[in-house]
A and B are shown apart, each in its own frame.
Chain A
Amino acid sequence: MEKMINLKVNGIAVSVPEGSTILDAARAAGNEIPTLCYLKEINEIGACRICVVEVKGARSLVASCVYPVSEGMEVTTNSARVLDSRKHTLELILSTHNKHCLSCIRSRNCELQKLCKEYGISDENKFEGAIPPSEIDYSAAHLVRDNSKCILCRRCVGACKNQYVAVIGANNRGFDTEIGCAFNEELGSVSCVSCGQCIVACPTGALTEKDDTDAVFAALNDPSKHVVVHTAPSIRATLGECFGMEPGSLVTGKMAAALRRLGFDKVFDTDFGADLTIMEEATEFLTRVKTGGVLPMITSCSPGWVKFAEHYYPEFIPNLSTCKSPQQMQGAVIKTWYAQKNNIDPKDIVCVSVMPCTAKKFECGRDDEDAAGVPDVDYALTTREVARMIERAGIKFTSLPDEDFDPILGESTGASVIFGATGGVMEAALRTAADVLEGKSMENLVYSDVRGMEGIKEASYTLGGIDVKIAVCSGLNNVSKLLDSIKSGEATYHFIEIMCCPGGCINGGGQPIQPAEVRNTVNLKGLRASALYREDEGKALRKSHESPAIKFIYDEFFGEPNSHKAHEILHTKYVKREKF
């Protein structure tokens, strides 16, 4: 049994496990302590001094987020001395902060702004400091950095390091300290994988996605354009959060209704593209097994992971499935089959995707992602961007009726819905592979070994007499461990699912930004994932190959999975990139 430590927080006795911090103990005693730099397991450095508390006998205030409890400790979290100190710290942070809050994308969702309100800041210019020049870095495909809004909390640095990428850090010293890349390179020229985990970690408006909402509004208002949208599996489990709904709320019907009211000509579902991915990827896998192709085969749905492989593990490029991601497959089908069917020039189609992901913005600009000679996808919006569009258009999201996606590119199975959580692609592939290899429709639909939020999951199955060893991995720190173990010969697998972001797309860098106090205390990933599994359970069809829409598109257009035509339209290639 773990040793318990007894202490008092604001006079109330509390007992917490040894090694807990004062912050944990205060929470157990029912007291909230504000934090700014602290992000559980990602940034625990006690730098910002917002979480200070008084400890009896200690000379100065201590940072509760990193200070361990000890027996008999007496802590005060809200004395005048503590509150004054926090206010003073805020005033000092504001002295060097670009306070253009009215036009800031994080207004009303800024952790600094919220604290200023809570601590009664009445003069944001109490101390006049030198505000760092607003040299905005637009170089990356997916994000914008404005260091004049940076408070040097280093949460983005922790998030980047937690992804094994670590291309950003604190450079220089003292007042010259700034977050940036080595040798002052722009983010667009270093080996950033575009995952956007830094954006969702940022408490202020220093980091934002590259906003495409104006461009999409312009397309919607252009009568010469046929504008279609498709939404990634995980968006239905997260979009509600942008409108004040609880994490884990499922808003599939409202989302379709909102997009239709925004004026999209067709509202499709990337889940169709996900079902198509399973058909192509499962077939590719079985072919590799039968013909002695390169194994393990690794999924290629996650563009952050693909870019990571290209920069950091190029020796695994032959292992990557050649399948385009669901976003790109969906776009490719829209610009080829759908365009022909409806007699629309693909150049006049604007294909917009709604993605949990900022790397999708990079992906739609990649080479060989243009089946019809024009980009498969024109704009990849994040969940946050589409929420802003809905808000700007005056659509009252929470009161919308539930509507369906448009046929047939909006039709899908439960297998594709679970793509949004780590293990989902593998489970969907297993449902189809099992049927194919056993030569009959298997009753089992749930592969619980691959579910859950652990970073690396392994399982073995015997399907149609073939032993298949698989792994499921999310979060690039875990990915590097897994790939190293394969390189050293310690581990062998046949098929691996890799997702760039920890927990998969439900925790992607394009998802709604939840403040640290939520991220530190709520199982956000678990709640969002469970919404997807609920949606899967409620679906009549839960195997990709059973989808009538999928059968139809193969009968009418592609012939069979991995056909010559499918290869031309639905597959792509990868390149080795520099590591910096």
Chain B
Amino acid sequence: MRKNISKLPFNGTKEQEAKLLAAIEANKDVRGAVMPVLQAAQDIYGYLPFEVQKIISEKLNVSMEEVYGVATFYSQFALSPKGKYHISVCLGTACYVKGSGDILNEFISKLGIESEECTADGKFSLTACRCIGACGLAPVLTVNDDVYGRLTVADVDGILAKYN
């Protein structure tokens, strides 16, 4: 899947940067250091914006494209931040045949963001995920740790209202 690059301004703190630099220091002599450092960066910032990849590229002396290539290859890495409420719509086979694609599209139109994006106020982010092992509840989605099952498009407004 093509990753969406966040258009939101970068709000990294000094503390986060110190943590990132420590992670780079700990890994810099490891072969293939880009991967563990990107994982650490994702834990620290929640996503991998330009500014963070730039630091990694410079400190590890690896080209920006090499860092970006790894960041866009693995689905675990995100280029867009997670919102306060992260909505994850299952597009696994069972959910998909039960209409989860339409549910995802409803969130896209209601929130005004694409999949893999975050709203400008930082409240909601949206992603499509693969099977979460709750096929009996298909179609299913999660909002942070809350699970919602046996949904229809009509349920989307109600779910959003709970968190607004």
Contacts and interface: CB of A to CB of B under 8 A. Distances in A.
A183 B68 contact: yes
Interface in B91-150: none
A169 interface: yes
A173 B63 contact: no
A173 B3 CA distance: 10
A577 to B, nearest CB: 14
Interface string B5-21: 10000000000000000
Nearest to A165: B63
Given A172-B1, A176-B1, A167 B63 contact: yes
B5 A169 contact: no
B68 A170 contact: no
Given A170-B69, A183-B50, A176 B2 contact: yes
A182 B53 contact: yes
B47 to A, nearest CB: 13
A33 to B, nearest CB: 29
Interface residues of B, number: 17
Interface residues of A, number: 18
A176 B73 CA distance: 10
A172 B73 contact: yes
Contact of A173 (B1, B66, B68): B1
Main secondary structure of the interface of B (DSSP, over half): helix
A169 B68 contact: yes
Contact of B3 (A169, A172, A181): A172
B115 to A, nearest CB: 13
Nearest to B73: A173
B65 interface: yes
Interface string A149-173: 0000000000001000111111111
A171 B2 CA distance: 9
A172 B2 contact: yes
Interface string A95-120: 00000000000000000000000000
B159 interface: no
Interface in B1-51: 1-3, 5, 50
Interface string A253-292: 0000000000000000000000000000000000000000
B160 interface: no
Contacts of A166: 63, 65-66
B64 A173 contact: no
Contacts of A172: 1-3, 72-73
A176 B3 CA distance: 10
A171 B69 contact: yes
A166 B73 CA distance: 17
B151 interface: no
B55 interface: no
B67 interface: yes
A165 B65 CA distance: 10
A183 B5 contact: yes
Interface string B73-97: 1110000000000000000000000
A183 B51 CA distance: 11
Nearest to B3: A172
8 contacts: A167-B64, A169-B68, A170-B69, A171-B68, A173-B75, A182-B69, A183-B5, A580-B64
Interface of B: 1-3, 5, 50, 53, 63-69, 72-75
